[in-house]
Amino acid sequence: MIREYENYSLLSHNTFGIDIKAAHFIEYDSVEELQQIIHKGTVKEPYIHIGGGSNLLFTKDYEGLVLHSCIKEITKIEETEDTVTLRVGSGIVWDDFVACCVENEWYGAENLSNIPGEVGASAVQNVGAYGVEAKDIIKEVELLSVKGEKAVFSASDCQFSYRHSIFKKPEMKGWFVTRISFILNKKPVYKLEYGAIREELKKYPEVTLAAVRKAIFAIRSAKLPDPAVLGNAGSFFMNPMVDRNKFEELKEIYPQMPFYEVDSHTIKIPAAWMIEQCGWKGKALGPVAMYEKQALVLVNRGGASGEDVISLSNAVRASVREKFGVDINPEVKFVS
């Protein structure tokens, strides 16, 4: 069923807890309903298609149309001795999909447990955590355009990279993700080397999918606030990539600096470490603060506006640029 609202509150559709409204809001349950909306000529600029709002920062009331998918099926479309392929609606809560995989002993998604948002956004953002990214399990992405055209992009078509995909490009704004096909392993395949996963797993009698999922929950919960309690969008900044020359220069000044080699030319430096070195961890600017347990997270302490969040973001970025000569960029999309 298509549900349409005017002057609609988006408070429950953004994890930052910013109390703003959309002039027009439409929710739909199927691709066919989205086609009906498009054929009626309802989708006109300005418009935006959202998921769970876990990666959005609304800076003011949205004067256009907000579309939201409630396509919520999970269908097994292919199975071999080693793998299973699932076709998943874009409106499924991402962690519900991960839970389904773990419950059925399908391997590949477990490290992505407890990430907020919906399935459709996983391809747009190429969500990632603890050594795994959505691109590692995505087979193809189904789309519908604002003109009513259908398309299917293979994983290689999606141009996935760190927190990026082709769907973030301006020319793809008129395409909406409707379903994603994921390919999972039926035999044990774990990625446990990242962060504190192995250490956390020592608390469990054996390594199982359920144990890994519980370990990921424990690790994330220890350093990331619950958006239902403290408004936030998870990691606010992306980890910067620098060339090896810049890395060597910084390493000489900061020998304790953590880093990850991306390839022979590129090094990833944790933005959280840089932010902490600048003294921002736990510090507030008005009603917004850097979370005391994780310097990568901006939190709404209550009553913050989008502009308040941007003010703190800009101050933090300026500090990192001044101290390290490196730009850190928001992972969160600003919507005005």
Backbone torsion region of residue 286, taken as left when φ is above 0, otherwise alpha when ψ lies between -120 and 50, otherwise beta: left
Boundaries of every domain in the chain: 3-69, 74-222, 225-335
Residue type, 140: E
Q: CATH number of 74-222: 3.30.465.10, 3.40.50.720, 3.40.109.10, 3.30.70.3190?
A: 3.30.465.10
Query: Could you give the CA distance from residue 230 to residue 227 in angstroms, rounded to a whole number?
Result: 5
Catalytic residue among 110, 118, 200, 331: 331
Contact 99, 197 (CB under 8 A): no
The string of pLDDT tens digits covering residues 302-332 is 999 999 999 999 999 999 999 999 999 999 9
> 74-222 and 225-335: same fold?
no
**Residue 261: active-site member:** no
Q: Taking the complete model, does pTM exceed 0.75, yes or no? A: yes
CATH number, domain 3-69: 3.30.43.10
pLDDT, tens digit (0-9, with 9 covering 90-100), for 257-279: 999 998 989 999 999 999 999 99
**Average pLDDT over the chain, rounded to whole?**
96
Closest CA relative to residue 124, chosen from 24, 31, 53: 53
Please determine, for residue 195, whether its predicted confidence score (pLDDT) is greater than 90: no
- Annotated catalytic residue, options 54, 122, 235, 305: 235
Q: What is the pLDDT of residue 225?
A: 93
User: Active-site residue 163, yes or no?
Assistant: yes
Predicted pLDDT at 159: 98
pLDDT recorded at residue 86:
98
Catalytic residue from among 90, 163, 181, 317: 163
Q: Which fold has domain 225-335?
A: 3.90.78
Three-state helix/strand/coil letters over 112-150: HCCCCCEHHHHHHHCCEECCEEHHHCEEEEEEEECCCCE
Whether 244 is catalytic: no
